[in-house]
Amino acid sequence: MSAPQIPLLRSSGRLAATLLLALAAVLAGPARGDAAGLALASTGRMEVNAMEYPWSAIGRVNVGGRGHCTGFLIGARRVLTAAHCLHDGETGRWRGANEIHFVAGYQRDAYLIHSPVASYERSQRFDTAAGATARNAVNDWAVLTLEKPIGRQAGWLGLRRLDDGLLRRLRRGEARALQAGYRRGWTHIMTVNLNCAISGFFQGRSGILHSCNISKGDSGSPLLVLDGGAFRVVGLHVLNANSSDGKVAGVLSVGLFHAGTGNRQAIRAVGRAGAPWSAGHAPHQGSPASALPLQTIDRLLDRLQPAESARTQHGPVQRGAAIAAFQSRRGLPVTGQASLDLLGSLIQATP
């Protein structure tokens, strides 16, 4: 079967390129094992500590003991993921909720925050027989309802539409798009793409295309936007695509779930999360997950340090000095304190 062609539209609305959807890339189903010898550096991704917010709100959707996808919390009990992850292609059936388990903050076989799935709702329009088509991908969503309110421990992420103003800020470098998930070859660690360039749209603006490297296992992961110091989700990963310029990733715009622009069933399903369009919520005090991403901050500080002053230790004193030095170089208020705002500044400063 040949893959369908999709017109790639720039923000001007002009036809810019033709994409071929890769049938086996993401829509084929959950990832099933690590690819030996894959070098993380070659993917352009960075390992992060999955037990630090905002990464702790992202987790593995383990399906039937045979594979996994990625999903992310949008409330205390609700997880958004890709519908195709829940379909068993070998038997041709949708898996039961009792076959699905969500693990937040999963890292190297550590699963402190997890819950069975009590039920789920998927798009009524998703057609398993249609194959890898852009029209089908736009309906590739499911909302899981967990038995336990683990979002209180892991935190959750808020949704945001990719409007023209945000798109302009991304293109000017004033905001940053990034992605995190459990990709093939690194299925037991959280890895993050720090700089995903928005390259166009498909199906009007229901689908968003970007340039970051994704693979099996990333299905259901969030396309995040860092804007004004806040992390919000603008898209749900559902497919890979190829163009003459190289690979791009396709995500379902979360505008589908918004009352002003979305689909009625999708709006109701996501609305049950409570306040999905809020700024999200960090882990509650006393949770095993940390509200401060100290390891990510340390790693980015090391990346951005001048070579002659690279650190060999990462204690509170060394971290505070490195933060103060970074803030001074960037013309920021010098506090020496770790925070989500600081993480945002570090990501913005990272090439």
- Looking at residue 95, its amino acid is R
* Helix, coil or strand: residue 4: coil
Q: Tally Cβ neighbours within 10 Å of residue 241.
A: 24
Please report how the helices 340-349 and 294-304 are oriented relative to each other, as an axis angle in degrees rounded to 10: 30
In total, the chain counts a number of residues equal to 351
* Triad 197, 201, 207: Cα angle to 5°: 105
Residue 44 has a pLDDT of 75
Distance between CA 103 and CA 72 in Å, rounded?
10
* Triad 142, 146, 152: Cα angle to 5°: 115
Residue 40 has a pLDDT of 61
Could you say which residues of the chain have pLDDT below 70?
1-43, 131-133, 241-247, 307-308
* Helix, coil or strand: residue 75: coil
Distance between CA 311 and CA 316 in Å, rounded?
12
Q: Tally Cβ neighbours within 10 Å of residue 165.
A: 10
Phi, psi of 277 (to 5 degrees): -95, 10
Containing H/E element for 58? strand 58-63
Whole-model pTM: value is 0.86
Which of 114, 116, 133 has the alpha carbon at shortest distance from 51? 114
23 Rama sector, left if φ>0, alpha if ψ -120 to 50, beta otherwise: alpha
Residue 37 has a pLDDT of 35
Structure tokens given for 215: 């693979």
**Number of Cα atoms under 13 Å in the Cβ half of residue 20:** 11
Q: Tally Cβ neighbours within 10 Å of residue 41.
A: 7
Distance between CA 161 and CA 107 in Å, rounded?
30
Residue 242 has a pLDDT of 59
- Please return the burial class of 272, using the count of CB atoms within 10 Å of its CB with bins 0-12, 13-18 and 19+: middle
Residue 199 has a pLDDT of 87
Alpha-carbon torsion 68, 108, 74, 250, what sign?
A: negative
Residue 108 has a pLDDT of 80
Residue 137 has a pLDDT of 81
Distance between CA 24 and CA 42 in Å, rounded?
21
- Please return the burial class of 246, using the count of CB atoms within 10 Å of its CB with bins 0-12, 13-18 and 19+: exposed
Rg (CA), the chain: 19
